[in-house]
Amino acid sequence: MWLFTETGFVSVVADAKQEDQMVVRARDKKSLQPLVDEYGVKILNWKNRDYPHRVLITRKQFVDWLVQSGEDLTYTNYKSRVSQTRGYDFAHPLHDVWATMLRLEDLGKPRRQQEYTYRDAYWADDPDFDPAETRLLGHS
């Protein structure tokens, strides 16, 4: 599972040998620091690996951390928030990720406007669709 949080980017997989363990991997140590701070785990450094920095945590710790990350979320624009928490050098590649994933959009041809409304977010045949709804969703 790939996770982009306001503190970094991690790849999470089940430990191949211990069923209750998760391996949280990152390309930079700072992405793992919240787990180190929360659970007192040690960062393992493995050279010549796709993700050279790793921590081992229990499945429950991972779920708790994931839930807490969601509960703590207050920002309205992810890339802007990451610019604040990690700086430009980390946030800038996120625009490339966003642009790459835009190719998978299945709501028709991608639009090139900066702001979308809730009207844009629903199909017209959706029972929750309200044509009068025009509140902004925010930036793309």
Q: Is residue 18 part of a domain?
A: yes
Structural domain total, the chain: 1
pLDDT in tens, 47-85: 889 999 999 999 999 999 999 999 999 999 998 999 999
Residues in the chain: 140
Beta-carbon neighbour count of residue 77 at 10 Å? 11
Distance, CA of 139 to CA of 70 (rounded, Å):
20
Distance, CA of 79 to CA of 6 (rounded, Å):
8
Range of the domain at 60: 2-73
What is the pLDDT confidence band of residue 112, given thresholds at 50, 70 and 90?
low
Q: Is residue 16 part of a domain?
A: yes
Q: What is the pLDDT of residue 37?
A: 97
Distance, CA of 68 to CA of 126 (rounded, Å):
32
Q: What is the pLDDT of residue 131?
A: 54
Q: Is residue 13 part of a domain?
A: yes
Q: Is residue 63 part of a domain?
A: yes
Q: Is residue 90 part of a domain?
A: no
